[in-house]
Chains A and B, each alone.
Chain A
Amino acid sequence: MKAPPFQYHRPQTREELGALLARLDNAKILAGGQSLMPMMNLRVIAPDHLIDINRVANLAGIREAVDGIEIGAMTRQADVLASDLVKSRLPLLTRALEHVGHIQTRARGTIGGSCCHLDPSAEQPAMCAALDAEFVVVGPGGRRVIPAGEWFEGLLQSALGEQEFLEVIRFKPWADGHGYGFAEYARRHGDFAIAGAAALLEAGRDGRITLAALLSFGVEAAPKRLSEAERTLIGQHVDSLNIKPVIAAASALDAMEDVHVTADYRRHLAGVLIRRALNEACTTMRRPS
């Protein structure tokens, strides 16, 4: 239960970090270490080089930019959870972070680390998918921006290249007063979710839905937007939603089976949780008056 030997590197700048990634084989980036360190202690992985990015300048922080909110990859989960800016502009993210781990893991764990590790039940990358976030990565060829729809390549597999690092995650907040809802099922508070769901809604003055996002996570190998079900909500009145197509979509997902639950039970949970998330989104919505 001890990590195998490795060479330790501690770059101070993006340039040093980029040079190390270009030069070293079998290297892993160490951010908060709340997933990587357990995997190393359990000897699931044995990198030859560990590149600790905790001291790289200006990789952490939450900023209001011209067209949205930018969260640096090394921003600790505790800081995202405590941010008033995130709470007011991205309330779904704050709501989800209450379910991420425990105070000790949030003190170290980072939003970028979670989004690169991509555990299927991880709340943060899932909320990035719900919010259509953009991932800004830096590599030998310079910067590129990867939309959330292209970030998830499979189980524990992001679109990040081997010589690239995640720099910042960009969010476009929904309109003031939008509805947001989150639900997950875990055995204990803070444990890995067996399944979860999120919903976002915007409506016009007449109460009719103009914009909707629906997401299931922990069900398939990667978070899954229920795009067709989203379209069925458009134009419906928020007080009398027909949610049958939504529950049907979640219940038809290609659910994983594991030591905890069967695929059938996970599909059942997906339907229950998307209904709860959608109901909460209807409740939290402030209607324009």
Chain B
Amino acid sequence: MTEHSVTFTLNGERREARVDPRIHLGDFLRHSLGLTGTHLGCEHGVCGACTVIVNGAPVRSCLMLAVQIDGTVVETVESLGKPGALSPLQQAFATNHGLQCGFCTSGMLMTLEAYLRTTPAPTEQDVRIAISGNICRCTGYEGIVQAALDTASAKASRT
């Protein structure tokens, strides 16, 4: 099938690529660009593990075609912290035991990263609804919810 060229901004860097239209964004990030921080679980829009941020909004990268990111701004978990210099949200996940096996974590992080930008002071119930589209089978969600609330209140006290 005909390949299409796409130009986009990925984690602050301008990128160009040629893509087969049937390749979804998640596979494109992992296989073509080697960014394996984005995880693919169900590949039909149920588990939320593959969540990335496109034009500021959290989206399921298994339900968006790579060809559709032409002209957009894409953020993946690699744009957050680095080992030894975690982002505040990542550090809060570590402190609160918000992860165990880690498979859902990048999707949880990107969902909450986008959510906390637009909702800086959520309630516990707000956070639970925000991550209702992300499945975690290890933690029971308590640590994840606490990490989000801690991140929000720490940011509020800094500003």
With A33-B64, A37-B63, A52-B68 known to touch, is A104 a contact of B51 (CB < 8 Å)?
A: yes
Tell me if B62 is interfacial: C-beta within 8 Å of chain A: yes
Contact A34 B45 (CB under 8 A): yes
Tell me if B30 is interfacial: C-beta within 8 Å of chain A: no
Tell me if A234 is interfacial: C-beta within 8 Å of chain B: no
With A6-B22, A8-B67 known to touch, is A37 a contact of B115 (CB < 8 Å)?
A: no
A239 to chain B, nearest CB (A): 32
With A33-B64, A41-B62 known to touch, is A2 a contact of B45 (CB < 8 Å)?
A: no
A95 to B2, CA, bound (A): 43
With A2-B27, A6-B21, A37-B63 known to touch, is A54 a contact of B48 (CB < 8 Å)?
A: no
Among the stretches B79-87, B90-98, B127-135, B147-155, the one at the interface with A is: B127-135
A5 to B19, CA, bound (A): 12
Contact A3 B22 (CB under 8 A): yes
Contact B1 A7 (CB under 8 A): yes
Contact of B133 among A3, A6, A105 (CB under 8 A): A105
With A2-B22, A8-B67 known to touch, is A104 a contact of B129 (CB < 8 Å)?
A: no
Question: What 6 pairs across the A-B complex have the smallest Cβ distances?
Answer: A102-B133, A8-B21, A107-B57, A38-B44, A37-B63, A1-B43
Contact of A188 among B20, B44, B130, B132 (CB under 8 A): B132
Q: Can you give 24 A-B contacts (C-beta < 8 A)?
A: A1-B44, A2-B43, A3-B22, A3-B24, A4-B22, A5-B20, A6-B21, A8-B1, A8-B2, A8-B65, A34-B45, A41-B43, A52-B67, A54-B68, A78-B57, A102-B134, A104-B58, A105-B60, A107-B57, A108-B57, A108-B59, A189-B132, A190-B129, A190-B133
Tell me if B111 is interfacial: C-beta within 8 Å of chain A: yes
Tell me if A101 is interfacial: C-beta within 8 Å of chain B: yes
- Which of chain A's residues have a CB closer than 8 A to the CB of B129? 189-190
A4 to B45, CA, bound (A): 17
Interface centre among A6, A30, A108, A190, by most chain B C-beta atoms within 10 angstroms, is A108
- Which of chain A's residues have a CB closer than 8 A to the CB of B57? 78, 107-108
Q: Convert B34-49 into 0s and 1s, putting 1 for each residue whose CB lies closer than 8 angstroms to a CB of A.
A: 0000000001110010
Contact A42 B60 (CB under 8 A): no
Contact of B63 among A2, A38, A54, A190 (CB under 8 A): A38
- Which of chain A's residues have a CB closer than 8 A to the CB of B130? 103
- Which of chain B's residues have a CB closer than 8 A to the CB of A263? none
Contact A103 B111 (CB under 8 A): yes
A189 to B127, CA, bound (A): 13
Tell me if B15 is interfacial: C-beta within 8 Å of chain A: no
A6 to B63, CA, bound (A): 15
Contact B133 A104 (CB under 8 A): yes
Tell me if A256 is interfacial: C-beta within 8 Å of chain B: no
Chain A residue with the shortest CB-CB distance to B1: A5
Please give the residue numbers on chain B whose beta carbons come within 8 Å of chain A beta carbons, in ascending order. 1-2, 4, 20-22, 24, 27, 43-45, 48, 51, 57-60, 62-65, 67-68, 111, 114-115, 129-130, 132-134
Tell me if A249 is interfacial: C-beta within 8 Å of chain B: no
Tell me if A50 is interfacial: C-beta within 8 Å of chain B: yes
Chain B residue with the shortest CB-CB distance to A40: B22
Contact of B21 among A1, A37, A50, A101 (CB under 8 A): A50
Contact B111 A37 (CB under 8 A): no
A:156-212 near B, CB below 8 Å: 188-190
- Which of chain A's residues have a CB closer than 8 A to the CB of B132? 102, 188-190
- Which of chain B's residues have a CB closer than 8 A to the CB of A54? 68
- Which of chain B's residues have a CB closer than 8 A to the CB of A34? 45, 60, 63
A:223-278 near B, CB below 8 Å: none
A50 to B114, CA, bound (A): 29
A:77-113 near B, CB below 8 Å: 78, 101-105, 107-108
Contact B2 A7 (CB under 8 A): yes
- Which of chain A's residues have a CB closer than 8 A to the CB of B20? 5
Contact of A105 among B21, B22, B27, B45 (CB under 8 A): B45
- Which of chain A's residues have a CB closer than 8 A to the CB of B68? 52, 54
Contact A108 B1 (CB under 8 A): no
- Which of chain B's residues have a CB closer than 8 A to the CB of A52? 65, 67-68
